[in-house]
Structure 1
Amino acid sequence: MKQDGVQGETCVLWTRTPHPAWVVSPRVCGHPQPGFLLSLLSLHRVKTDRGPAAAPGDALGMASAAPQPSSQTAEETPGFVDAFLHEFPAPLSPESPLPWRVPGTVFSQEEVEGELADLVMGFLGSRSAPPPLAACLAHEAVSQLLQTDLSELRKLPEQEDEDEEEEKAPVTLLDAAGLARSLFTWLWEACSRWQKQVPMAARAPQRQWLVSVHAIRNARRRMEDRHVCLPAFNLLFGLSDPVDHAYFAVFDGHGGVDAARYASVHVQANAARHPELPSNPAGALRAAFGRTDEMFLRKAKREQLQSGTTGVCALITGKTLHVAWLGDSQVVLVQQGQVVKLMEPHRPERQRTPGPPSPPWLSLQDEKDRIEALGGFVSHMDCWRVNGTLAVSRAIGDIFQKPYVSGEADVASRELVGTEDYLLLACDGFFDVVPHQDVAGLVQGHLLRQQGSAEHVAEELVAEARERGSHDNITVMVVFLRDPQVLLEGGAQGVGLSEPETSSPPRS
């Protein structure tokens, strides 16, 4: 989204339904109970004011405009399906314009699921679809489309240079506009069927979520951050796993927004389809980052893209927290008022101290040695940089800096015991000026001033970073693991940093 000055996006979630960041309003998130979709068809309209227009196709939690909380009284509205079919009484005709903007002219076969889920979730969110219903409809439409014969939508790739090595398997490209039109037809048919008989939804949620997100362009010319807030992970990808998954991520692009947008669409889709997700979620996250990097590099080669992105994500599976990261976007955990360091960012100058790996999530090889062993170099030009250019040593994309800039993520896991307060995910625009040990005090101060309301906590943290001199894009996401009112009543139990108790799974 185009943002002017400090204008940004706020996403506050606290409802009893999954509520990803592409539909923004005050709610708490979880999975629907059996038969819950039946009640969704007669829900009240959310209290919202529309912010700046969202960038079409910019969904799955990316930094796009969204409705803002309003003090206006909510009014009852027809069920979403009825409203949808009233707006679209029939499928689109061949001459009708698409109701969304398609990001690009072609998708490769491996990109289709993620890109289509992004399109339909963005569209449904723009029409205030109840989030669990949106996730279920998106899964239904995308899965039905993927079962059809797509051969008529194939497009030939552009001719590559003869001296370039041929890929082992030729890439299959599909017409993006044709896919989008077919997707809308399947979405319309799903709504038409569900108007008559709504299928039973998933089981009852195991937990609820409160998430606050704020993102600004700040003094930069472009907004290159993207974020994902996906408590409806299981519903969107049709997972039958008995354990709930909730996924949160921040991506900080450089050299353009393409890589950050791509990662915010495909990392979660690749994780959802990884065979080890039920048994080894952290390993699935690591593999998802690697696969997304490989996919984007193929796209970058086809379309002459040069951008890259750092990223950090948190996947909460039941009572276990899994984090994965590339570059200097970071996540911290606050437990009983004390900041717990979960990770070490990837910077070119990072070096290991002698002795066994400690903490356990630190890579066995430091970044400087890894880069130099590959034939690259690390130099200081206002900051430490890889080959005199990038200030991060791991990222998705950056095709001309591979393999020195690695796409292999680090991961860590930690059991949640119930005393954790919240997670904070942010890009370097925040953490470059706000040290970890300040986080707990800033959040606690906000809760004290707002009598326990966390509605604007991310916005206040972003403002604090800007006040401290950050000129970069800034994205902050706070995922509460306990009720903020409880945190306020308990007061700050501790200040500063504590030793991590995370573990890193073996590399496959």
Structure 2
Amino acid sequence: MMEVLKIAVLFLGAFVVTIALSYGVSVSCMMVYDEGGVSAVLQSPECSRWILSSGYPRNQTVNCQAATFQGSREYQEDRLLCDLHMKIPLLGKTGLEEFTIGLVAVFDGHGGNEASEMASKLLLDYFYMHAVFNSYKLMTQYRGVLPVTEDDITQLEILREALLNTIHEVDFKFSQDAFEKKLFSGSTATIALLVDGKILIANVGDSKALLCTENIQSGNLTANLSAIELTEDHHPDRDDERARIQAAGGSIIGLGVPRVNGILAVSRSIGDVYLKRFLLGFILIGRMHSRDSIRER
């Protein structure tokens, strides 16, 4: 019985190694990721070489349009990010399959541009790598092939978890940098994933995502325009946010605009280390919006 168990363990280990190596990720890199996340992978000489050789195209802005307004400040604190042609391997019916995913993000910086700048530079790579490593982990669980009944659900969960882990790690990395350099800036983050005709929205702070549609019916010269708000603002005067902030020892002060300790008008953000005990860097991920569900509204 012991010999059979040893053989089974060795077979499973060989299976895991084969999966990882066949797609360019070594077992040692997977271990580095488990221990320290994407930041640790980027600092590893072996793993960083794999990343550079993976051929991943970054920040493809074709078909992206944007407009910004700087206001009265001497410099722009906001950042935009758009890549509509990300190629990410996700676990599918026949193993790892390459999916094309669009990612659009807005970062509304405040108190400086350091937080929005770092977040916009790290987001694509961090999201890509979290999605890839999560897919490799599931391959070992499902022995390389995803059950048909769990195909779409599991892929959605991979993307959800990758988004959560990305924002958490970006917030942690910037907060470390801010403590060392005495930076006081922060940023919102609103991210839209475009996957197979569906939209997944995640946000922290109060940068809104609106889905605008135009419906022109045959024979009718007028168009029906509509806008759907896909995000929920994180403001300190929300009942749930107020309760959390006050439980942490903070207060909501402000004439006209409620602010955390009379300073910050959002209750969740990237950075803002001087108020970190009262804030959350956790993003709120909404439900997936499909074309059919949008048409029904």
TM bucket normalised to smaller: 0.5 to 0.7
Report the equivalent of 2:235.
347
Q: 2:268 pairs with 382, 385, 394, which one?
A: 394
Greater helix share, structure number: 2
Segments of 5+ residues of structure 1 without an aligned counterpart are 1-108, 115-142, 149-182, 191-198, 203-208, 352-365, 422-497, 500-508
**1:147-186 pair list within 5 angstroms:** 147=49
Partner Cα separation in structure 1 for residue 98 and residue 292 of structure 2: 20
Report the equivalent of 1:13.
none
Output the amino acid matched with 1:329: S
C-alpha distance after superposition, 1:39-64 (max 9, x if no partner)? xxxxxxxxxxxxxxxxxxxxxxxxxx
Report the equivalent of 1:384.
258
Question: Retained in 2: the 8 A contact 1:111–1:266?
Answer: no
Partner Cα separation in structure 2 for residue 419 and residue 212 of structure 1: 25
C-alpha distance after superposition, 1:348-400 (max 9, x if no partner)? 1122xxxxxxxxxxxxxx11111111111111144110011101111000111
Report the equivalent of 1:411.
285
Question: Retained in 2: the 8 A contact 1:395–1:407?
Answer: yes
What is the TM-score normalised by the length of structure 2?
0.64
Change over 3 Å in CA distance of 1:395–1:241 after alignment to 2: farther
Report the equivalent of 1:229.
82
User: 2:164 aligned with 1:286, yes or no?
Assistant: yes
Partner Cα separation in structure 1 for residue 255 and residue 274 of structure 2: 19
**Percent of pairs identical after alignment?**
28
Equivalent pairs counted in the alignment come to 219
Output the amino acid matched with 2:236: P
**4+ runs of 1 displaced by more than 3 Å?**
111-114, 237-242, 275-279, 418-421
Offset, 1:222: 2.0
Report the equivalent of 2:139.
none
State the Cα RMSD in Å.
Answer: 3.4
Change over 3 Å in CA distance of 1:113–1:330 after alignment to 2: farther
Output the amino acid matched with 2:228: V
Offset, 1:262: 0.8
**1:129-208 pair list within 5 angstroms:** 146-147=48-49
SS of match in other structure, 2:66? strand
SS of match in other structure, 1:348? coil
Change over 3 Å in CA distance of 1:111–1:228 after alignment to 2: farther
Question: Retained in 1: the 8 A contact 2:89–2:97?
Answer: no
Change over 3 Å in CA distance of 1:415–1:392 after alignment to 2: closer
Partner Cα separation in structure 2 for residue 113 and residue 238 of structure 1: 19
SS of match in other structure, 1:246? strand
Partner Cα separation in structure 2 for residue 413 and residue 302 of structure 1: 37
Report the equivalent of 1:62.
none
Greater CA deviation, 309-318 or 266-275? 266-275
Offset, 1:292: 1.0
Partner Cα separation in structure 1 for residue 186 and residue 41 of structure 2: 21
What is the TM-score normalised by the length of structure 1?
0.39
Question: Retained in 2: the 8 A contact 1:320–1:413?
Answer: no
Partner Cα separation in structure 1 for residue 241 and residue 293 of structure 2: 34
**1:87-102 pair list within 5 angstroms:** none
Offset, 1:319: 2.6
Output the amino acid matched with 1:216: F
Report the equivalent of 1:333.
211
Partner Cα separation in structure 2 for residue 112 and residue 330 of structure 1: 32
Segments of 5+ residues of structure 2 without an aligned counterpart are 1-37, 91-95, 136-154, 216-224
Offset, 1:279: 4.3
SS of match in other structure, 1:413? coil
Output the amino acid matched with 1:233: M
